[in-house]
């Protein structure tokens, strides 16, 4: 089975610390690799984590504050240097086009990278494949910022014993999947008779924002919510002033949205330990972890 897991490359907020690098998160999703918010130093963090540039198929930037995008310059040049053979798609706020262009061409290099930019100017679906969709909604920060949601398409699990009982096999099964029913002998067999619904898995990425309705919508019923928790609740006034969340607020979003697992990250340098974040959040939402640089966190197994 293909890997579906989050690799935390960096978990600091505005200022990196001795133990936490600037932001950077690689979501392995089957044959795709989504790199979210590559901050300064992401290229080196990838080496520590055993992640190659060839693993990156898409880069998603929430906003153009430095801790969420400065690594794009190095990553762009490394993609070119390593001659990554596939197109790397980059999603980012359209209002930051000038910053995107500066980061892509920050210094002299022989640019042979296959890169396709996708500036975001409206909410909704920004990518649709036969396997999944990628959508975005605006968040509430001091600058334009967007959250992301990866949603696997629902599918069907065929039941071999039921297929055998009605005598279906080979191309007939494919036709049944495509059309929803098939005539076999003197009866019509529906897809529901020989299969069960398989709900698609989902992941939401909610970075710099105050608590808002769109953060909840992005996280609605997701299997894994990756969410900023820059502050503890004792500093809730600072969180609101600077357009951020506390651990308690992140947990409330997860609980309200019906998420299955919450990953806290983007910690302020003022805190030396993440244990209080877990303590604060778990009182509201029990399925929570605080990410550390280098952690690998699996997407929860399917419920059915």
Q: Which residues belong to the active site?
A: 67
List the beta bridge partners of residue 13: none
Distance CA 88, CA 55 (A): 10
Distance CA 227, CA 91 (A): 19
Q: What is the DSSP letter of 234?
A: G
Residue at token pair 């299997």:
223
Distance CA 210, CA 162 (A): 50
Distance CA 245, CA 136 (A): 19
Instruction: Report yes or no: 243 and 140 within 8 Å, Cβ to Cβ.
Output: yes
- According to DSSP, the β-strands at 4-10 and 296-298 are antiparallel
Instruction: Report yes or no: 62 and 139 within 8 Å, Cβ to Cβ.
Output: yes
């Amino acid at each position: 089975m293909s890997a579906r897991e989050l690799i935390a490359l960096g978990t600091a907020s505005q200022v990196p610390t001795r133990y936490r690098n600037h932001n950077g998160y690689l979501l392995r999703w089957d044959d795709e690799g989504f790199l979210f918010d590559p901050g300064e130093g992401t290229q080196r963090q990838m080496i520590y984590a055993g992640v190659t540039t060839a693993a990156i198929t898409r880069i998603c930037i929430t906003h153009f504050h430095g801790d969420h995008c400065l690594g794009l310059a190095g990553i762009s040049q490394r993609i070119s240097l390593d001659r990554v053979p596939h197109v790397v798609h980059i999603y980012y706020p359209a209002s930051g086009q000038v910053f995107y262009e500066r980061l892509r061409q920050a210094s002299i290099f022989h640019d042979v990278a296959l890169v396709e930019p996708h500036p975001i100017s409206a909410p909704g679906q920004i990518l649709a494949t036969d396997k999944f969709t990628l959508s975005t909604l605006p968040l509430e920060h001091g600058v334009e910022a967007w959250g992301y949601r990866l949603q696997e398409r629902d599918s069907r699990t065929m039941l071999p014993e039921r297929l055998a009982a009605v005598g279906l096999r080979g191309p007939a099964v494919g036709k049944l999947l495509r059309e929803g029913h098939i005539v076999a002998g003197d009866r019509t067999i529906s897809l529901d008779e020989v299969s069960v619904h398989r709900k698609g898995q989902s992941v939401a990425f909610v970075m710099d924002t105050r608590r808002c309705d769109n953060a909840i919508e992005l996280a609605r019923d997701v299997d894994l919510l990756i969410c900023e928790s820059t502050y503890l609740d004792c500093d809730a006034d600072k969180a609101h002033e600077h357009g951020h969340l506390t651990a308690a607020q992140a947990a409330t979003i997860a609980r309200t949205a019906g998420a299955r697992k919450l990953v806290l990250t983007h910690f302020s340098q003022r805190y030396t330990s993440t244990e209080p974040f877990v303590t604060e959040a778990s009182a509201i939402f029990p399925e929570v972890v605080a990410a550390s640089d280098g952690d690998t966190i699996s997407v929860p197994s399917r419920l059915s």
